């Protein structure tokens, strides 16, 4: 699924660094578009968490074989957005998630505006952005069979003993979803240290981290939502010993 901050382009480089034979549980504490957890072998117990309850209800709905919209009008989009802002209750939480992520530009969940069907670009060709997002997302669903989904803050998640814990947190100095605004980074750093002290193997995707964290992988990567930008940030994977 197209999602802000997706790791789809680099997952096959960073995942082998994280996986090992000494741990049997993989916890994705900020699962988002699930591009990482869907590639973790199902021989692991797989736990996916995200603070956005609409996102998690959407994934659970799709995982259970639930109904998927084939066409999302601007009127449906506006009504679902009203539900999200507490002005209506016409759609379920899963429905709000489906419409918000399938019909917003770049999957930005009511923050990028309505993407639309059969939109004619500058080249004169029509493109169905919503259909593309739906098809991309539905290809991911079979890979999520058996994943345990939870919604809440990362520090409220019950993590089994000696887990691999992956955190694709909201990056500093980047635009964030509503649920990620005012993220407390210092609190997160302390939590990571505590998780490592408890015997978990902790990994974090970020551009920069405090000196207590060690970089184990880095690569210059184009912005996943805008491949035409000239500035290419360096994606890094950190751990803490």
Give the per-residue pLDDT at 223: 63
Nearest-Å Rg of the Cα atoms of the chain is 18
Half-sphere exposure of 35 (CA within 13 A, CB side): 18
Q: What pLDDT sits at residue 28? A: 98
4: left (phi over 0), alpha (psi -120 to 50) or beta: beta
| pTM score | 0.92
SS3 236: strand
Cβ 110 vs Cβ 103: under 8 Å: no
CB 107 within 8 A of CB 33: yes
What tokens were used for 72?
Answer: 């999302």
The C-alpha atoms of residue 233 and residue 231 are separated, in whole angstroms, by: 6
Q: How many residues does the chain have?
A: 241
**Tens place of pLDDT per residue across the chain (241 aa):** 888 888 999 999 999 999 999 999 999 999 999 999 999 999 999 999 999 999 999 999 999 999 999 999 999 999 999 999 999 999 999 999 999 999 999 888 998 899 999 998 888 899 999 999 999 999 999 999 999 999 999 999 999 999 999 999 999 876 555 555 789 999 999 999 999 999 999 999 999 999 999 999 999 987 655 545 556 789 999 999 8
Give the span between the Cα atoms of 120 and 165, in whole angstroms.
43
């Amino acid at each position: 699924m197209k999602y802000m901050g997706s790791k789809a382009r680099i997952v096959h480089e960073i995942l082998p660094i994280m996986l090992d034979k000494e741990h049997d549980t993989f916890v994705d504490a900020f699962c988002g578009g699930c591009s990482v957890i869907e590639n973790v072998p199902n021989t692991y117990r797989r736990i996916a968490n995200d603070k956005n309850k609409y996102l998690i209800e959407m994934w659970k709905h799709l995982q259970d074989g639930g109904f998927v919209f084939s066409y999302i009008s601007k009127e449906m989009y506006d009504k679902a957005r009203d539900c999200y802002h507490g002005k209506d209750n016409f759609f379920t939480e899963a429905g709000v998630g489906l419409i918000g992520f399938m019909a917003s530009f770049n999957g930005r969940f009511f923050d990028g505006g309505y993407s639309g069907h059969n939109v004619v670009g500058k080249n004169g060709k029509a493109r169905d952005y919503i259909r593309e997002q739906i098809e991309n997302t539905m290809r991911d669903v079979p890979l999520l069979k058996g994943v345990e989904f939870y919604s809440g803050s990362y520090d409220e998640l019950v993590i089994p003993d000696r887990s691999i814990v992956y955190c694709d947190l909201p990056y500093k100095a980047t635009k964030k979803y509503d649920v990620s605004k005012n993220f407390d980074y210092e609190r997160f750093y302390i939590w990571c240290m505590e998780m490592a002290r408890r015997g978990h193997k902790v990994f974090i995707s970020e551009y920069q981290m405090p000196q207590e964290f060690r970089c184990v992988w880095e690569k210059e990567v184009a912005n996943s939502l805008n491949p035409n930008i000239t500035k290419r940030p360096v994606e890094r994977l950190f751990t803490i010993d």
